[in-house]
């Protein structure tokens, strides 16, 4: 089973897709997109990937979308030579949180510390401005190991296909 899919003429490695959570125009959190999979090759590249995606967002995306959007979920793909935007989604619980939980970790997705109140801003402590960006909360998550039970979430036919290594696949579907 190959790891590459083609979108708009660009070959993308499915392990190199990431979901970003933007609140008030700021990229607050980043997750591996294919959260049910473990890609061990990503772990040693964590800092590099975070830097590459955050720099791309700040330099190319943030100001372009600021005119129309404050809060959104954005999907990125990283290739050998570039970072791409795959799509934008609403900043809502109906959009998959990937490795984050909207219910218990909303504060992370909104770039708040757990003890911060919603809607209360202190101009002196907001961390805004060029010097305060590093003090603002940000979290980047990758699957750290194989998740137990993840295979159970896959539909039965697809599980059979994965277990067979594609040998049971025919043009009409799985062989019976």
**Residues ≥6 apart with Cβ < 8 Å to 145:** 38
Which carries the bigger pLDDT value, residue 172 or residue 24? 24
Q: What letter would DSSP give residue 16?
A: G
Task: Give pLDDT, residue 4.
Answer: 47
Tokens encoding 153 = 């979430």
Q: What letter would DSSP give residue 175?
A: -
Comparing CA positions, the residue from 91, 109, 92 lying closest to residue 100 is: 109
Q: Are strands 83-89 and 72-78 parallel, antiparallel or unpaired?
A: antiparallel
Domain boundaries, the chain: 4-145
pLDDT, tens digit, 9 for 90 and up, residues 116-173: 766 544 443 333 333 344 578 999 999 999 877 766 677 777 777 777 766 666 655 5
Write out the CATH class of domain 4-145: alpha beta
- pTM value is 0.74
pLDDT, tens digit, 9 for 90 and up, residues 80-115: 999 999 999 999 999 999 999 999 999 999 999 887
How far apart CA 82 and CA 77 sit, in angstroms, is: 8
Beta strand segments in the chain, E = 4-7, 10-13, 17-23, 26-32, 72-78, 83-89, 139-141, 169-170, 173-174
């Amino acid at each position: 089973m190959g790891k590459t899919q083609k979108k708009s003429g660009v070959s993308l490695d499915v392990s190199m897709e990431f979901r970003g959570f933007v609140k008030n125009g700021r990229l607050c959190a980043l997750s591996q997109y294919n959260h049910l999979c473990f890609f061990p090759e990503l772990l040693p590249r964590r800092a590099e990937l975070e830097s590459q995606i955050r720099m791309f967002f700040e330099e190319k995306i943030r100001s372009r979308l600021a005119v129309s959007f404050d809060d959104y979920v954005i999907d990125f793909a990283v290739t050998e030579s570039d970072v791409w935007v795959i799509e934008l989604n609403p900043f809502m619980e109906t959009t998959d949180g990937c490795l984050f939980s909207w219910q218990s970790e909303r504060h992370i997705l909104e770039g708040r510390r757990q003890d911060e109140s919603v809607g209360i801003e202190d101009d002196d402590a907001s961390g805004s401005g060029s010097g305060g960006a590093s003090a603002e909360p940000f979290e980047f998550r990758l699957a750290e190991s194989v998740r137990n039970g993840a295979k159970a979430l896959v539909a039965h036919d697809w599980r059979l296909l994965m277990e067979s290594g594609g040998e049971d696949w025919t043009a009409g579907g799985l062989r019976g």
